[in-house]
């Protein structure tokens, strides 16, 4: 690995591997451009933080799911890991709520409907309509309280096909949203936004921007919901850091 910092614009390859997972290195503008130029293809975009990466490290079935996703996007400490391993200076993490807003802005501008699939869809729809008055919601599928399975995936796919939606936003958390997105039988861009639905809807409090930019969002979320998140941040996150140090010093890094 070169010790010099590599900027995105000067990179000839846009993919790197972290813990065996391939990440696309780009920004919101790149992502929106790809969505606009691949309107009738099943192309999945998914910001990925450390905990699904670590779950995939111990779960080959989940790792296979991630192998099939075209655009896994660096979020959280994945950004640090890419800089530490490859010297690539990523200017911004790909954050679920911001990705949802960028895609909604694009759909409003081109007057194409968006389909929402996740938790608290009615609240998310209302908030997006306030932010983007001309946004067209092609349809919604509420996932709160619904146990995911193949029959649900088939039902959602049929519903989406009946709409004229240009893309689908899925917000049910990781890794369930990635499994669901991979199982949908549609030919549209699918954007996974994680907790973006809950944060946009106001169900969960969003960390102040100075906390997010300071890399302490994990602590903010842990203090808000310790029972659900303790394993993610107390066990999986430190293990992730150890694996990154191992890969750095054992030269187990891969760029393509």
CA atoms within 13 A on the CB side of 191: 32
* 104/108 Cα distance (integer angstroms): 6
Q: Which residues fall within 8 angstroms of residue 194, CB to CB, at 6 or more apart?
A: 47, 96, 171, 173, 174, 177
- Per the listing, tokens 């029959």 go with 151
Residue 186 is classified by DSSP as -
Q: Give yes or no for a contact between 185 and 154, defined as CB atoms under 8 angstroms apart.
A: yes
Backbone φ, ψ for residue 24 (5° rounding)? -90, 130
- Hey, which residues does 254 pair with through a beta bridge? 17
Q: Sort strands 167-171 and 114-118 into parallel, antiparallel or unpaired.
A: parallel
* 10/179 Cα distance (integer angstroms): 33
Residue 236 is classified by DSSP as I
pTM: 0.89
* 100/128 Cα distance (integer angstroms): 9
* 130/184 Cα distance (integer angstroms): 29
Q: Give yes or no for a contact between 36 and 61, defined as CB atoms under 8 angstroms apart.
A: no
Q: Give yes or no for a contact between 94 and 47, defined as CB atoms under 8 angstroms apart.
A: yes
- Secondary structure element (H or E) that encloses residue 98, with its range: helix 96-110
Number of H helices, E strands in the chain: 13, 9
What pLDDT, on the 0 to 100 scale, is given for residue 102?
A: 96
What pLDDT, on the 0 to 100 scale, is given for residue 13?
A: 59
Q: Give yes or no for a contact between 94 and 74, defined as CB atoms under 8 angstroms apart.
A: yes
What pLDDT, on the 0 to 100 scale, is given for residue 254?
A: 60
What count of other Cβ atoms lies within 10 Å of the Cβ of residue 98?
17
- Per the listing, tokens 């994945």 go with 78
Q: Give yes or no for a contact between 181 and 69, defined as CB atoms under 8 angstroms apart.
A: yes
- Hey, which residues does 44 pair with through a beta bridge? 190
Q: From first to last of its 256 residues, what are the pLDDT tens digits of the chain? A: 444 454 545 555 589 999 999 999 999 999 999 999 988 899 999 999 999 999 999 999 999 999 999 999 999 899 999 999 999 988 889 999 999 999 999 999 999 999 999 999 999 999 999 999 999 999 999 998 887 777 899 999 999 999 989 999 999 988 999 999 999 999 999 999 988 898 898 887 777 788 877 777 877 777 888 887 788 788 888 899 999 999 888 766 565 6
Gyration radius from the chain CA atoms = 18
Q: Which residues fall within 8 angstroms of residue 234, CB to CB, at 6 or more apart?
A: 222
């Amino acid at each position: 690995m070169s010790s010099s910092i590599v900027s995105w614009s000067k990179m000839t390859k846009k993919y790197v591997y972290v813990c065996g997972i391939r990440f696309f290195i780009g920004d919101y503008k790149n992502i929106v451009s790809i969505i606009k130029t691949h309107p009738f293809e099943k192309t999945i975009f998914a910001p990925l933080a450390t905990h699904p990466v670590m779950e995939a490290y111990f779960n080959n079935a989940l790792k296979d799911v991630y192998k099939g996703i075209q655009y896994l996007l660096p979020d959280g400490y994945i950004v640090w890991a890419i800089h530490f391993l490859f010297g690539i200076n990523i200017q911004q993490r790909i954050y679920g709520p911001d990705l949802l807003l960028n895609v909604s802005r694009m759909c409003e501008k081109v007057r194409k409907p968006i389909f929402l699939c996740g938790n608290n869809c009615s609240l998310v729809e209302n908030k997006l309509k306030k932010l983007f008055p001309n946004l067209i919601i092609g349809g919604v599928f509420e996932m709160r309280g619904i146990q995911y399975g193949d029959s649900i995936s088939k039902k959602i796919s049929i519903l989406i096909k009946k709409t004229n939606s240009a893309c689908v936003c899925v917000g049910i958390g990781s890794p369930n949203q990635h499994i669901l997105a991979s199982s949908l039988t549609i030919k549209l861009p699918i954007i996974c936004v994680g907790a973006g639905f809950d944060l946009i809807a106001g169900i969960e409090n969003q960390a102040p921007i100075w906390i997010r930019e300071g890399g302490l969002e994990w602590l903010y979320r842990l203090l808000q919901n310790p029972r659900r998140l303790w394993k993610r941040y107390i066990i999986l996150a430190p293990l992730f850091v150890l694996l990154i140090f191992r890969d750095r010093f054992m030269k187990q890094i891969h760029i393509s």
